[in-house]
Amino acid sequence: MASRYTGLIDRYRDRLPIANETPAVALGEGGTPLIRLDNLARDIGFDGDLYVKYEGLNPSGSFKDRGMTMAVTSAVADGVDTIICASTGNTSASAAAYAARAGLTAFVLIPDGKIATGKLAQAMIQGARIVQIRGNFDDGMRLVKQVAETAPVTLVNSVNPFRLQGQKTAAFEICDELGRVPDYHALPVGNAGNISAHWLGYKELAAQPGTLTAENCNDHSYSVGGYDKRPTMLGFQSTGAAPFLRGAAVDEPDTVATAIRIGHPQSWNAAWAAHDESGGHFDELPDSEILHAQKQLATREGVFCEPASAASIAGVMRAIEKGRIEAGSTVVCTLTGHGLKDPDRAIEQGGGLAEIETLDATEAAVRKRIESGL
């Protein structure tokens, strides 16, 4: 009998702290492709297995949907009718989508002039109440935390524990698809909730079996079980927004990778735990290296991600070159958002359009490019 996929809550309900009778607020999130990068691996001389988990193919175009389905489902179950978040873009788009699905009101605070066009368009068309603030994401987080303490709203940033519970399911999917745990898992790091959530998922897969409840969802005495190892976690930041490399918060983060333009990560301790417990490492990359990796991924593999996503690929390429990733390893890189989230940046890298008026001129231009190998 045919079975329609409805979303990650229904797929992994027994692994999530949510009651069986609670209806999911879902948009078919999860189930994103794990794509093997044969061309890029060959280009850099890597003899292992290199994959990307393409989270940009979630309903609102980013990994945020994994956590938002859980956060909004929980809010509806609690009788809440308004949610709020601060955002560099992806959280606002996801919150707006799931609020619309559930019939809730979504308030989103965004940094004035510092949000990619694609993300702003999503939040606007989906009916979010958008408030632009003078300041950056970290300023927005301070404000929404204050509001959530006194107003009847649910805060749906990654400080909401249900967010990480949903995001951990990406680790389940990766292991289900590979049939094993990857040796290394690389992620961009901004607010650091995603690397923390993945590590939570991998820990559950390797722990002793138990029973998951809302009360014990943040400890590790239970498990979905079945795997006997954990990956080494790798986190990559932009040089202009690299608090984990500075060892302290950065007050004025600056990078073209807007999704990780965050100087005060909310999951600081959990991310360091993932780093320490897995034997992993953090690294920083200049924007130029991140953008180069974004273009390489698009032109060599046909995979279009937003700039922040490419930090994971750029970081892995550097780690392989420096010998920090063992030959023959299985490496998974998370691509956190779709390239259409930031179309302006992609167009800048595209090199412009040639203006040709006649058929003969078009044919001549194509032949010239073929003959020159361009």
Give residues with Cβ within 8 angstroms of 113, minimum separation 6.
132
DSSP state for residue 102 in the 8-state scheme = H
How much is the pLDDT for 212? Answer: 46
Taking residue 248's Cβ as centre, other Cβ atoms within 10 Å add up to 11
Please return the burial class of 298, using the count of CB atoms within 10 Å of its CB with bins 0-12, 13-18 and 19+: middle
Proportion of the chain above pLDDT 70, given as a percent: 92
Kindly state the helix (H) or strand (E) to which residue 186 belongs, with its residue range: strand 184-188
How much is the pLDDT for 116? Answer: 80
User: Tokens 């990857």 identify what position?
Assistant: 182
Q: Is 35 helix (H, G, I), strand (E, B) or coil?
A: strand
**Tokens of residue 71, six digits:** 């956060």
Query: Which DSSP string corresponds to 351-363?
Result: T------SHHHHH
Sheet hosting strand 105-111, strand order edge to edge? 129-133, 105-111, 82-86, 154-155
Candidates 119, 87, 58; CA nearest to 334 is: 58
How much is the pLDDT for 260? Answer: 94
**Tokens of residue 370, six digits:** 């073929």
Q: What mean pLDDT, rounded, does the chain reach?
A: 90
Candidates 19, 20, 24; CA nearest to 8 is: 24
How much is the pLDDT for 66? Answer: 98
How much is the pLDDT for 353? Answer: 65
Please list the ranges in the chain whose pLDDT falls under 50.
Answer: 210-214, 216-223
